[in-house]
Every structure is written in structure tokens, then in C-alpha cells.
Chains A and B, each alone.
Chain A
Amino acid sequence: MPQVRRVLLAAALLLLAGCAAVVPDDFPADPDGTLDRVRSEGVLRAGASPRPGWVDVADDPPTGREPRLVSGFADHLGAEVEWTVAGEEELVRLFEAGEIDLAVGGFTDTNAWVDKVGLTRPYTEAHVMMVPMGENALQSELERWLDTQPTAGGRP
């Protein structure tokens, strides 16, 4: 299929050329610009689903190990956390509607929502956080930040 191959080749060259120009600052980028928005507006919209030992929602704002990490990440981005407390399914719906940027709830990497939300690389004992699907700048920034957190490792 010569035409298809020419198109593939042209696309590859174009993207390679394009990448060479932008790789230094904004790579990977968010299709929906979540990370940029959090930084510029100073608000990280986080969801929390209760899970004993990880997320405690008795108080407002939620407390526990994962909310602490979320606050730390928000500080890192120069943002305040705006919490939404809901069940897992509702949090997934909020992600799909683009209404939250991050969610915690003692989720693990065998999570059933993997087709609908992005999951971070496990930061401790297979535990992951949820991010919007395909917002790769935000996901990469969060994963890198979690790597630097000594408190992220070990048991709660």
C-alpha cells in the first residue's frame, strides 16, 4: 500500500521534527491540559473514597496517609486541594466528566476501572492513584513526585 506507507513515513518525519523542537519543556503533554490548569489556577480537584488505613473521611478535609500525599503533591504544584468525597464508581464518573484531576481510596493496580481512568505506577505495595485517562503530563509529574517521597514507601 504505497500511499499508506508514504503517509506513515511523512507522519513519522513530521512528528520527529516536531518533537525535537518541544521535547525540552512540555513532554509528554496533556491532551486536555490538566497539569497546566492546576498550576495556573492553583486548584487541585481531588476525589477521596474511604478505605481504612489509607483514606479516612470522618473529618473534612479527609485525613490519612493518601490525603497527606495528595496535599504534598498540591504543594509541589503550588495549588490548594479541593476535596470531593464519593464512592469509587462516582469518582470514575467525575473523571469521565472532567470534574476531578486526581483520586485516592486505597486503590491497587488490579483495579477494575483501568479502562476508564488512568492509574499511576504503583508507589507502594501495588497501591495506585487515579488520574484522568491519558493526561500524561499530570500522570508523569505525579509518578515522579511519588518516587521522591520517602513516606510513600512502607506500611501505613
Chain B
Amino acid sequence: MSRAGSGHWFGHAELPPPQAEALHRARRLEVVTLLYMLTCVAVVFATAGSSQAMKTAWVEDSLALVPPLAFLIAVRLGRRRPTADHPYGFHRATGVGHLTAAIALLTVGLLLAVESAMGLLRAEHPPIGTVRLLGHTFWAGWLMVAAMVYTGIGPFILGRMKLPLAEQLHDKVLYADADMQKADWMTAAGTIAGVLGIGLGLWWADSGAALLISLSIVRDGWTNLHYSTTALMDERARTYDDARPHPLTDRVDEVLSRLSWVDDSRSRVRDQGHVFHVESFVRPVSGRTPTLEQLEAAADVLRELDWKVHDVVVVPVRDLPETIPDPR
């Protein structure tokens, strides 16, 4: 390979130095996230009392442990070389992690939404009394507000640090995690609003805030479920944030058609998690069979496109397969 290697691998794809550096930072950030969120879970649990919004925030904080764990496990598995039993390597571990995180989000979001809605319907008045700490008696709501300020700050910073790494590594679990965390401060703000609402004698503020928070969890879960399942179903590769089809899906046929011996081509590009699997069916000019050198050169041209394009199959055919629709 002509690119400088980094000694870090995803299966048999060697990471270029910037990606290797990004991977190193991402793993460190996810370990920091895990430790930080564990302290948040403990702090919120200790102060939650009978506020529904606090309980909802606690569950969300506990759930926030899943994506970093999924990322760390998936990256660890994805590094393994392909084996006889796993000829495509272990890249799909990312997809499984993504799906797991999505289902956790969706299920818990729905449960919490129902619980908060029931609280509103039954007109539950959450009791928050006082606490006695170090010889002072004060309203327990202030402790909850302080806990939520603490849990709101970390994700706000960590999410923003992880977002660019998710793009560099083309890691959707990391992206889902960063994107959720980026918005996590609103959960904290909503919970604070609910608790202060109770303090003002607005009993519905708490369940109301909890309902809005749980709806945003449901929304996160649904979006992630959609994209993780379609990726596992071999949808055409999409960008790291699933915003649009990945530009490489078009570039593949573009660079193939520039080769002198190629008349036309049709390719399938799927995302295995980090790396892409490319199958290109190539029709040579005037039906002449290409040489082995030409075929190898074609595969190399594709690999040169991007570090993600690694598992490449180039097949010369008489007619382009009709079973593959034109992606354009």
C-alpha cells in the first residue's frame, strides 16, 4: 500500500495516522465518559427523591453508559483479523452495538413517557421536603438542582469533543453517543425546570418536564433504530451521521469509468462498520477480457480512494447485472 501505515488496524484495513490518532482519542474520551457518567448516576440517584423528572434523568444517565460501552467493545472486536469462520472480519460488531443502544433508548423512552403521562393524569403532587447536611437544613430541591448542573456540564463538553472523531473514524456508535450527549444539557435544564416548578407549587411542572425528556429519548431511539437496522440490512453506505448516501458510493463507479479498458461499471457499496465492502461489476471495452494486472490495478485505484474502502472485489462481466439498480 502506498499510504503510510499507522500500525493500527480495523481487521485487515490499516488505519492512516490521523484515524489512528482519532481512534486513540475516542477510546480515551469514552473511558472518561464512562467514569463521569457513573458518578452522575450515583449523584442523581442519591438526590432524586420523589421527583419524576429526576428519576427520568437518572435512567437517561444510566442509559448513557450503553453507547460508550458498545463503542469500546465494538472497536475491540472490529480490530480482529478475519478468521475462517468470519471471512468478512468483525466490523459488524459496530452495527450490533448501534442496534443495542437504539433499542435500549427506545424502550426506556417509551416506559418513561407512559410513566410521566400517568403522573400528569393522576395529578400526582411530588413531595420534596428538606435535607439536613452539616448542621444546616435546606430544601432538598436545591440539592437536585446542583446534581443536575453537575450532570449537565460533562456531556455538553464530551459530546462536542467526540463529534469530529466520529466523522474521522466513520463510527456511527460514536456519533450516536456524541449526538445524544451534545443534547444532554437540555435534559438537565428540563429537570431543573421541573424541580424548581415543584418549588413554586406547580405540581405538574415535574411530570411535564419528565414527559418532554422522555419524548426526546424516544426520538433518539427511533432515529438510531432506523439507521442501525437499515445499515445491518446492507443499505447503500451512508455518511457517519446518516444524513445522505456516502459520496464514495458514486466515486467508485466514477474512477472505474476513467480506466482505459473500462466501458461501464455498476457497484454495490455497503457499510460494514468503519470500513466499506465494495463489489464492482465492470464491462470491458468491446468485450475484451482484462488482464490480471488490469484487474488488480482497478482494485488498487478503488482502495486509493479512501482508507475505508478496503474489502474490494472487481468482477469483469459481459453485461452489467440487471439485479443491481443504477444508484444515480
Contacts and interface: CB of A to CB of B under 8 A. Distances in A.
The answer to whether A binds B is yes
Interface of A: 1, 4-5, 7-9, 11-12, 14-16, 18-19, 22, 27-33, 118-121, 131-137, 139-140, 143-144, 147
A20 to B, nearest CB: 10
Majority secondary structure, B binding face? helix
A146 B189 CA distance: 33
Given A4-B215, A11-B209, A28 B124 contact: no
Contacts of A28: 128, 139, 141, 198-201
Contacts, number: 108
Contacts of A137: 201
A22 B196 CA distance: 11
B212 interface: yes
A153 to B, nearest CB: 13
A9 B132 contact: no
16 contacts: A4-B215, A4-B219, A5-B216, A11-B209, A12-B189, A14-B193, A18-B200, A22-B200, A28-B141, A29-B201, A31-B125, A33-B201, A133-B127, A143-B137, A144-B130, A144-B137
Contacts of A119: 127
**Residue picked from A5, A8, A11, A143, most chain B C-beta under 10 Å:** A8
9 nearest A-B pairs in the assembled complex, by CB-CB distance: A134-B125, A29-B201, A118-B127, A8-B190, A12-B189, A28-B199, A12-B193, A31-B203, A143-B130
B128 A12 contact: no
Contacts of A143: 129-130, 137
Contacts of B137: 143-144, 147
A7 B189 CA distance: 11
Which bucket holds chain B's interface residue count? 20 to 34
A139 B186 contact: no
Contact of A15 (B183, B197, B219): B197
B199 A136 contact: yes
A119 B49 CA distance: 12
A30 to B, nearest CB: 6
A15 B193 CA distance: 6
Contacts of B20: none
Given A8-B193, A134-B127, A136-B129, A29 B200 contact: yes
A1 B127 CA distance: 30
Nearest to B135: A147
Given A11-B205, A136-B201, 6 more contacts: A12-B190, A28-B141, A29-B201, A133-B124, A133-B125, A143-B137
Contacts of A18: 196, 200
